[in-house]
Structure 1
Amino acid sequence: MRKTLLLLVPVLLLSACSWGITLDDAAKNVRTAWSGDVSGCRELGKVTVSVMDRVGPVDRNTITVRDELEVLARNQAAQMHADTIKPLAEPADGSQPWGAYQCGARQIPAAHSPNAPANPGSAPGKAQTFPVHGG
């Protein structure tokens, strides 16, 4: 019983790391321009966000760390009245710099974005379907 408890404690601690990082309501309107051109946008500044990338000797999941960094950057950008962020460098030691921009109605291509719709012409949250013909 004691060995099982000792094995469960690190797992619970690792899973608890992202519980407090949530997207603010205002940040839901902030887009991420992963490789988009922001040259037509007004630069509002730079934010550097950080999270724990390891707990003791254990590295945290890279995808989770990246997701948390993006959420924090979007939250900070919303406070600056920005509507677009763009990573300025790759994450390093749990920290990442982001540019904050005001692009207005200008649409930034979201190439390579994990949340980009499958069909760029479709509305977010809408799926485009095709009939399947049995053969």
Structure 2
Amino acid sequence: MRKTLLLLVPIALLGACTWGITLDDAAKNVRTAWTGDVSSCHDLGKVTVSVMDHVGPVNRNDIKVRDELEVMARNEAAKMHADTIKPLGELTDGSQPWGAYQCGTAQLAPSSHPAGKPASPSSASAPGAFETFPVKGG
């Protein structure tokens, strides 16, 4: 019985990492400008969000961590009355800075892709390319 309990506790703790990180109703209207030019938008400030990127010696799934950071950034931006966020830097030790902007209905012009390649709608159909979707609750 005791051995079973010792095995179940770490599993429960690992599963608990994502509980409570949900997209607020107000944040559903906040868009993410991954590669868009926000120079025509009003800069409302910077938000730095963080989550646990590892539990003990076990690293968490990078995609899950990034999704959670985006949800948290959108939630914080909504509190600032922003309608757009954009990452200002890379994920480091579970933390990432985001810019919060008020863009209104302005279309965001594509800027260069973080890897230096221009972003294009047809690039998602290229071999090895991927497309992202909102996380659960978005």
TM-score normalized by the length of structure 2: 0.76
The corresponding residue for 1:114 is 132
The corresponding residue for 1:89 is 89
Could you tell which deviates more after superposition, 76-85 or 104-113?
104-113
Matches within 5 A, 1:1-135: 1-108=1-108, 114-115=132-133
Q: Is the 8 A contact 1:50 1:94 kept in 2?
A: yes
Structure 1 residue identity aligned to 2:133: N
Cα RMSD over matched residues? 2.0
Unaligned runs of 5+ in 1: 117-135
Q: Which has the larger radius of gyration?
A: 1
Could you tell which deviates more after superposition, 101-110 or 31-40?
101-110
Unaligned runs of 5+ in 2: 111-118, 120-129
Among all aligned residue pairs of Structure 1 and Structure 2, give the percentage whose two residues are the same amino acid. 76
SS in structure 2 of the partner of residue 43 of structure 1: strand
Q: 1:5 to 1:36 in 2, by over 3 A?
A: same
SS in structure 1 of the partner of residue 85 of structure 2: strand
Q: 1:9 to 1:109 in 2, by over 3 A?
A: farther
* Shift, 1:109, TM fit: 6.2
TM-score normalized by the length of structure 1: 0.77
Whole-angstrom distance in 2 between the partners of 1:87 and 1:26: 19
Q: 1:69 to 1:109 in 2, by over 3 A?
A: farther
Could you tell which deviates more after superposition, 36-45 or 80-89?
36-45
Whole-angstrom distance in 1 between the partners of 2:39 and 2:77: 17
Q: Deviations over 1:10-49 (max 9, x none)?
A: 1211111111111111000000011111111111110001
Number of residue pairs the alignment of both structures matches: 116
